[in-house]
A and B are shown apart, each in its own frame.
Chain A
Amino acid sequence: MSRRPWTFALALLVAVLVLNLFFTPGFFAMEVRDGRLFGSLIDILNRAAPAALLALGMALVIATGGVDLSVGAVMAISGAVAAGLVVQPDGFVLQALGPQSVGAANVIAVVAGVLCGLFNGLLVGFFRIQPIVATLLLMVAGRGLAQLLTNGQIITVPSDAFATIAIGATLGLPNPVWLTAAMALFFGGLTRLTALGLFIEASGDNPTAARYVGIDGRALRLAVYGLSGLCAGFAGVIAASNIKAADANNAGLYLELDAILAVAVGGTAMTGGRFSLFGALIGAVLMQTVTTSILTRGIGTEITLVLKAFVVVAVCLLQAPAFHEMLKRRRAPA
C-alpha cells in the first residue's frame, strides 16, 4: 500500500472506464482525421492536461508539507505575458520588451511563472510564512497583476502559431498531452534519478530531523515552489492558446483546487512526506474522466461537481489507514 499509493485511484479510474464501456456507447471509439486521433479518451487526456501539469508541481509542494494556492492566478499571469508579447496591445505593460515571436513570448511567459513560484518559495522558505497564507497572497494579487498586464482587457491573439500549442497535434496526439508527458518525465527524472525526491520527502516528513541531518529546507522550498511556478507557467500558456486569448479573470480559475484534489486522490498525504507523481497524474485523469463521463451521459453539469466530490471522498476514504482499521475490526468478529 505504501509502495503504490495510487492503487485506489487507478482502480477507480478502471472502474469508471468499465462502466462507460457498458453504458456509454462509443466512449472508446477513436478515429483518425487529418492525421490526428479523435475520441472521448483523447479528449479526456487533452482536457486533463492543465490540471495534470499543475498537479506535478503541486505534488512536490505538498510533499514538503506546504500547498500552492497561487497556481491558477500564475496561469493567468503567464497567459497574459504570452498573449501580450505577441500582440502588443495599447498600454501593455511589457511594451519595453518589444514584439516577440510566439516562441520567445512563450518562453518569457513560462519564466514569469517560475519567478512567481520563486517568490512563493522565498516567502515560505526564507520568511517562514505559512504556505497557505504566503501563496494566498499571489492567488489574490496575481489576478490583479494579470489584469494590470492586460490593461483590464481580454487580449485576443489572432495568430495561428499561438493557437497551435493547445489546439495542434503531433504524431496523432494533442500537443498539451505531449507537453504534460514530457514534464512528467522531467519531474520524475529530477526527483527520482537524483536525491531531490528523497530530500523533499524527508523535509516534509519531519522538518526538524531533516534540519538535523543537514538538509537545506529553505533552498528545497525555493526549488519546489519554483517548479510549481514552472508548471503553472506552461499551463497558463496552454490555457491562453486554447482560447486564442488571455483572460485575466477566468484563466485557470479554481484550477489550483483541481490540482490539489488530483494530488490527494493520487495518494500523496496532505501532511507532507511521501509523494507520487504518477498518482497525481492518475488523479487528474480520473477527475476529468468522471467529468467527461457525466457530460457524455447527458447528465446536467450541475451534478458534475457533486459527483466529483463523491469520487474524491471515496478515494480518500479508501486510502485512509483509519478506514482500513475499521474494516478489519468489522470483519474480525464475523
Chain B
Amino acid sequence: MSSLLRMSGIVKTFPGVQALQGVDFEVVEGQVHALMGENGAGKSTLLKVLTGVYPADSGEILLRGDVIRPRSPQDATRLGISAVYQELNLAPNLSIAENIVIGREPMGPMGIRWREVKRRATQALARLGLELDVNRPIGSCSPAIQHLTAIARALDVDARLLVLDEPTASLDRDEVENLFTVIHRLKAQGLGIIYVTHFLDEVYAIADQITVLRNGTKVGCDTPAALPKRALVSLMIGREAPSEEAAPQREVSAAGEILVSAKELGRRFAVGNLNFAIRPGEVLGLAGLLASGRTETLRLLFGIDRPDTGMLMLDGIPARLTPRRAMRAGIGMSPEERKTEGIFPSLSVRENILIVAQVQRGWLRRLPRSAWAEADAMKDELRIATPDLDRSIASLSGGNQQKALLARWLIAQPRLLLLDEPTRGIDVGAKFEITGLVERLRSEGMAFVLVSSELSEVVQSSTKVAILRDRRMIGEADDLSEKAILDQIAEGDR
C-alpha cells in the first residue's frame, strides 16, 4: 500500500490563535484514518486546509507524491479530494440524480443530457452498492439515503481521497451498519478515507489508523489495537496523568425531596437512557466527550426538546415541560451558545441581567429601581468589565457577556439551574468566583446540573456525576475523581 496523502508541518494561525502548530498527517490508500479531538483541537482547520478553504501558513501537502496547493474546494475536488460535511448541502426538491451531478451536468446541444445524468447517478450509487430510484426528490429520502447520496456525489468526480465529517450524527444503528458496508467497499477500491467522529465505538469498528489532535498539535497516531480507549480519551482530553484525588466531600442535606428525576429518559438522535434524581443542594455533573449528549440532556430538562422515551418527574409528578413551564416550576438554563441563545444584543447589560427576574415578576409590574442595585452587585462580584451597565451587551467581550448571562440566573435564584459550559471563555479569576458562587448557592439549597468540557471543573463542583458516552448515559460515577470518571468514559458499559 502506498502513501496517498502526506501533510507535513502544517501551520495555520488566525488572529490571536495558532490553530495548527506544525501538524503531520498521512493517509494510505485503502485506509480509513480517524481524526479525533475535542473542540478547538484543530480538526476542522486541518480539513479546511486540505480542501482548499484556506491556505496553510507553512507546510507541504503531497498527494501521491506530487505537491499540491488547493486554492478552493473546487480545486481540491479536481485534484481528487472530496469532502462530505455534516451539513450535506443537498437541494431537497431536486431528485437524487440531479443532486449527484449538480454543478457538473453533462451538457449536449439541447441542454442537459438527462439520460446521461441518470446513468451517471445510477453508476455512482452502484459504486456504493446501492440501487435506488434516482428520480425521487432527495428531501423525501431518509437521512441515511441522503448521506449516501452526498457520498455518491463526492465520488462522482473520481475522488481518490474522501473526507467524512461526522457522517453518523443523524443515523440509526442499522443505517450506520449500512454506511460501514459502503466504507468497506470504498476501501477495497483503494480509496483513502479521513473519518471524523466523536463516537468512540465507531472508531474502533471502522478505523485502521487514529490520529489525535489537541490544541493544534498532533498528540498521538497509532492503530486502534495499539491505542486502547482509555489512552485515546486521555489523549483527547489531555490528561495523561489525571488527578486521582477525590473531590472534597460536601454536606448534602439528604432530607430534601427529589426535585427532578429522569427514568429511561431519552430522545432519538439526541441522548438516551437518562436515569438520575436531583435533590436540593446537589450538583449533578454531566461528564462525557464532545457530542456525548450533555447539552441534549439539558435541553430535555428545560423543555426545549420533547423526550420521546422515558419519564421526567418534577416534584414527583410526571411533567411535560416547555421553557416557560420549566421556569414557572423554578428551573433555569444558561445555554452554551450565548450569541444565538443567550444574549439580547441590542439591549443594555442591565436589561440582559435583570430580564429573568422581570419575567418572574410578570410583565405588568416593572422591577423597581432598587433591583438595579442587585445587578450592580453582580457586576462587582463577577467582575464584569464594563464602565456601566447601561451600554449594549454587544459591546462586551465574550467572557463578560457570559458573566452577565450567569448573573441573570444567579439573581433570579431558581430551584434548579442548568449550566452549560458556564465558564467557557472566562478568565481564571472569574472562574474561581463562579465556582464559589455555585458552591454557596448549593449549600443554601439550590440544585444544579453542570456541563463542562473541563473534567476538573465537573469534579470540583459536583456532588455526583452522570457519565455519558455516545449519546447514552452509562451510569453514575462510582468515585468522584478525574481518573475514575475517565476510566468509566473509556470503558463504557460494564
Contact = CB atoms under 8 A, between A and B. Distances in A.
Contact of A208 (B341, B356, B365): B341
Nearest to A196: B363
B364 interface: yes
A211 B363 contact: no
B342 to A, nearest CB: 6
Contact of A212 (B341, B347, B363, B365): B341
Contacts of A8: none
Interface string A183-219: 0000000000111101101100110111111111000
Interface string B334-372: 010000111111110001000110111111111100000
Contact of B346 (A210, A215, A273): A273
Given A198-B351, A212-B323, A213-B359, 11 more contacts: A194-B366, A195-B361, A195-B365, A199-B358, A205-B344, A206-B343, A209-B341, A209-B344, A213-B327, A213-B408, A214-B359
Interface in B146-163: none
Interface of A: 2, 193-196, 198-199, 201-202, 205-206, 208-216, 269, 273-274
Query: Interface extent on B, as a size class?
Result: 20 to 34
A258 B335 CA distance: 40
B366 A206 contact: no
Contacts of B335: 212
Interface of B: 302, 304, 323-324, 326-328, 333, 335, 340-347, 351, 355-356, 358-367, 392, 408
B328 A206 contact: no
A201 B344 contact: yes
B344 A214 contact: no
Contact of B365 (A194, A198, A201, A209): A194
A332 to B, nearest CB: 21
Nearest to A220: B363
Contacts of B344: 201-202, 205-206, 209-210, 273
Contacts of B355: 198, 202, 213
B358 A198 contact: yes
A196 B366 CA distance: 9
Given A2-B392, A201-B346, A201-B347, A212 B359 contact: no
Contacts of B408: 213
Contacts of B343: 206, 209
A331 B392 CA distance: 26
A195 B335 CA distance: 24
B303 to A, nearest CB: 10
A209 B323 contact: no
A2 B328 contact: no
B356 A213 contact: yes
Given A212-B323, A212-B333, A195 B347 contact: no
Contact of A202 (B347, B360, B364, B366): B347
B356 A214 contact: yes
